[in-house]
Amino acid sequence: MVLAEASLNVASAPSYLEALNSKQQQAVLHSEGPLLILAGAGTGKTRVLTTRLAHILERNLCGFQNILAVTFTNKAALEMRERIQRLLGRSVDGMWLGTFHSLSMRILRKNADALGYSSNFTIIDSDDQLRLIKQLLRAENIDEKQVPAKMVAGVINRWKDKAKTPDRAGNPQELTVQLYRQYQERLKILNAMDFGDLILNCLVLFQQNPEILNSYQQQFCYLMVDEYQDTNAAQYLWLRLLADGHGNLCCVGDDDQSIYGWRGAEIANILKFEKDYANATTIRLEQNYRSTNHILGAASGLIANNRDRLGKELWTEKQGGESVLIKGTWDSENEARFVIDEVEDYQRKGHSLSSMAILVRASYQTRDFEERCLKTGTPYRVVGGLRFYERQEIKDALAYLRILVQPDDGLAFERIINVPKRGIGATALQNMHVIAREQNISLPRAALLYAMEDGKGIGKANLRQFFEDMQRWRNMLDTQPHVDVVKAVLDESGYTAMWLEEKSPDAAGRLENLKEFVHAIEEFEFLPGFLDHVSLVTDNNNQSAGDCLSIMTLHGAKGLEFDFVFLPGWEENLFPHPRSIQENGLEEERRLGYVGISRAKLKATISYALRRRLPYQGWQVGLPSRFLSELPAAHVKHVQANGHESRQQNSPESLRRPASFVEYQAQHFEIGDRVFHQKFGYGDVIDTEGEQAVVEFDLAEEKRIHISFLKKQA
Ligand code: ATP
Ligand code: MG
CATH architecture designation of domain 390-537: Orthogonal Bundle (1.10)
pLDDT of residue 699: 73
Q: Average the pLDDT over 86-112 and give the result.
A: 93
pLDDT of residue 475: 95
Q: Percent of the chain, pLDDT > 70?
A: 91
* CA 104 / ligand 2 centre spacing (Å): 22
Whether residue 36 is predicted with pLDDT greater than 70 in this model: the reply is yes
Residues 335-360: tens digit of each pLDDT? 999 999 999 999 999 999 999 999 99
pLDDT of residue 542: 43
pLDDT of residue 651: 44
* CA 39 / ligand 2 centre spacing (Å): 10
- Closest residue by CA, ligand 1 atom 31: 289
- State pTM to two decimals: 0.77
The conformational region for residue 576 under phi > 0 = left, psi -120 to 50 = alpha, else beta, is: beta
Instruction: Report residue 315: phi and psi, to 5°.
Output: -140, 160
Residues 308-333: tens digit of each pLDDT? 888 888 999 999 899 999 999 999 88
Cα(704)–Cα(672) distance, integer angstroms:
15
pLDDT of residue 388: 62
Cα(208)–Cα(224) distance, integer angstroms:
25
Pairing of strands 618-621, 681-689: unpaired
The CATH number of the domain covering residues in 666-712: 2.30.30.140
Q: Where in the chain is the domain with CATH 2.30.30.140?
A: 666-712
Cα(589)–Cα(461) distance, integer angstroms:
56
* CA 227 / ligand 2 centre spacing (Å): 7
Question: In testing the pocket of ligand 1, which one of 24, 82, 84, 290 has its CB within 8 Å of the most ligand atoms?
Answer: 290
Q: Where in the chain is the domain with CATH 3.40.50.300?
A: 10-106+201-285, 293-385+547-655
Atom of ligand 1 lying closest to residue 285 CA: 6
Q: Where in the chain is the domain with CATH 1.10.10.160?
A: 122-190
Residues 271-310: tens digit of each pLDDT? 899 999 989 999 999 999 999 999 999 999 999 999 988 8
Cα(686)–Cα(487) distance, integer angstroms:
59
CA atoms in the 13 A half-sphere facing the CB of 22: 8
pLDDT of residue 288: 97
CATH class name, domain 293-385+547-655 = alpha beta
Whether residue 11 is predicted with pLDDT greater than 50 in this model: the reply is no
Whether residue 655 is predicted with pLDDT greater than 60 in this model: the reply is no
Q: Could you tell me the pLDDT band of residue 385, with boundaries at 50, 70 and 90?
A: low
Task: Report yes or no: 666 and 682 within 8 Å, Cβ to Cβ.
Answer: no
Helix or strand run (H / E) with residue 8: helix 2-11
Catalytic residues: 45-46, 226-227, 257, 599
- Closest residue by CA, ligand 1 atom 14: 42
pLDDT of residue 31: 82
Alpha helices in 41-95 (DSSP H): 45-58, 74-88
Cα(388)–Cα(516) distance, integer angstroms:
10
Whether residue 656 is predicted with pLDDT greater than 50 in this model: the reply is no
The CATH number of the domain covering residues in 10-106+201-285: 3.40.50.300
* CA 55 / ligand 2 centre spacing (Å): 18
- Choice among 281-285, 370-374, 409-413, 574-578 with the minimum mean pLDDT: 370-374
The CATH number of the domain covering residues in 122-190: 1.10.10.160
Task: Give the pocket of ligand 1 (CB within 6 Å).
Answer: 19-21, 24, 39, 41-47, 254, 257, 289-290, 559, 561
- Closest residue by CA, ligand 1 atom 19: 44
Residues 49-63: tens digit of each pLDDT? 999 999 999 999 999
CB count within 10 Å of CB 434 equals: 13
Residues 6+ away with beta carbon under 8 Å from 254: 38, 39, 40, 41, 45, 229
- Closest residue by CA, ligand 1 atom 2: 41
Whether residue 3 is predicted with pLDDT greater than 50 in this model: the reply is no
Q: Could you tell me the pLDDT band of residue 13, with boundaries at 50, 70 and 90?
A: low
Task: Report yes or no: 26 and 2 within 8 Å, Cβ to Cβ.
Answer: yes
Q: Where in the chain is the domain with CATH 1.10.486.10?
A: 390-537
Question: In testing the pocket of ligand 1, which one of 255, 289, 565 has its CB within 8 Å of the most ligand atoms?
Answer: 289
- Closest residue by CA, ligand 1 atom 26: 20
CB count within 10 Å of CB 155 equals: 20
Q: Is the dihedral of CA 301, 304, 309, 314 positive or negative?
A: positive
Alpha helices in 312-409 (DSSP H): 332-348, 366-376, 392-405
pLDDT of residue 519: 78
- Choice among 118-132, 477-491, 528-542 with the minimum mean pLDDT: 528-542
